[in-house]
Amino acid sequence: MEIVTVLLSSLLLLISPAGIVLDQAAENAIRDRLAAAESLAVRIDNGPSYQLLQGKVDKVRIAGRGISPIPGLRFEVAELETDPIDLAFQALRQGEVVLDKPFQGAARIVLTEADVNAFLRSPFVAQQLENLDLGNFAANPAQAREGTRYQINNLAVDFLPSEESTDGEAGAEENRLRISAELEDLVEEAGFVIEAEAGLSVAGGDRLKLISPTVVVDGTPVDPRLVNVLLGGLNDRLSLQQFDESGVVARVVDFDVGAEALDIALWVRVDPSFTAPAAQPGSIE
């Protein structure tokens, strides 16, 4: 939820001591909290001055290209349009960003295949893979013990173009991608190449589901029954509901996997508890 923190921490600088919100000031405030931004435009719909002094903004529209919220991760397109924003007045006077009412907005993110693969090769992902215990994804203790012996290297993703299904309609074969990696056996000091392909769909707006997954190891297809066992618990781990308890609710409105990019539309709601000092100490600077 780094993007949410970046945006909320920028709100404090959108309101000048005189109570005037300026688009350029807003743009500069957000840029300062991003790792990089090739282009960024911010439009503020101003309310009456007394509302601005109390931390209220009618609407914020943000449109950016080449946006990097953290080093190594680049969004080709990042857009956000918010509902009215209401910051707690007393906290604002003390230089703190605390929501008085929930923050809501609609967002759109476009990730290119090239940018995703660049991120997968970044130091951040490399560190995550080093700490990843494949045994955590296993269905039983025996599989968990087996999973700890493997290490993932050279992870890459390939967005697949839509293809017509056997009945002549394209829908069944849309939104597919292929993930490839080298799996190193730390016990046998050997390795093999694994390729996994699956379609993607969204259930209930919050859970990404894998459709018709296939796995090929060193050119040999894996029995579909084994694939279902190995990936049986993965769908639950791909749910956005895992962020709900922190006060951030995100739901997928629409998404499309093209041959070159992934286009996602989201609805986001941030509860005031996310910015409450007692609940999130140090999360908003």
pLDDT digits (tens, 9 = 90+) for 15-68: 544 445 567 777 887 888 889 999 999 888 876 766 776 778 888 899 999 999
- Choice between 136 and 215, residue whose per-residue pLDDT is larger: 215
- Choice between 137 and 95, residue whose per-residue pLDDT is larger: 95
Residues linked to residue 8 through DSSP beta bridges, in sequence order: none
Once rounded to an integer, what is the mean pLDDT over residues 72-100?
Answer: 86
Tell the burial category of 132 from Cβ atoms under 10 Å away from its Cβ (0-12, 13-18, 19+). middle
Residue 233 confidence class, pLDDT cut points 50, 70, 90: low
Q: Where are the alpha helices (DSSP H) in 122-168?
A: 123-131, 141-147
pLDDT digits (tens, 9 = 90+) for 177-188: 999 999 888 777
Distance (Å, rounded) from C-alpha 174 to C-alpha 201? 9
E strands, the chain, where? 36-45, 56-57, 59-68, 75-82, 85-86, 103-112, 150-160, 176-185, 190-203, 207-217, 220-221, 248-257, 261-270
Mean pLDDT of the chain: 79
Task: Give the side-chain half-sphere CA count within 13 A for 216.
Answer: 9
206 and 236 Cβ atoms separated by less than 8 Å: no
Q: In this structure, what DSSP letter does residue 165 have? A: -
Task: Write down the pLDDT at residue 236.
Answer: 63
Coil vs helix vs strand at 157? strand
Task: Give the side-chain half-sphere CA count within 13 A for 271.
Answer: 12
Task: Write down the pLDDT at residue 279.
Answer: 47
pLDDT digits (tens, 9 = 90+) for 59-76: 889 999 999 988 999 999
Residue 138 pLDDT exceeds 50: no
Tell the burial category of 166 from Cβ atoms under 10 Å away from its Cβ (0-12, 13-18, 19+). exposed
Task: Write down the pLDDT at residue 19.
Answer: 45
26 and 10 Cβ atoms separated by less than 8 Å: yes
Task: Write down the pLDDT at residue 174.
Answer: 73
258 and 160 Cβ atoms separated by less than 8 Å: no
- Choice between 142 and 225, residue whose per-residue pLDDT is larger: 225
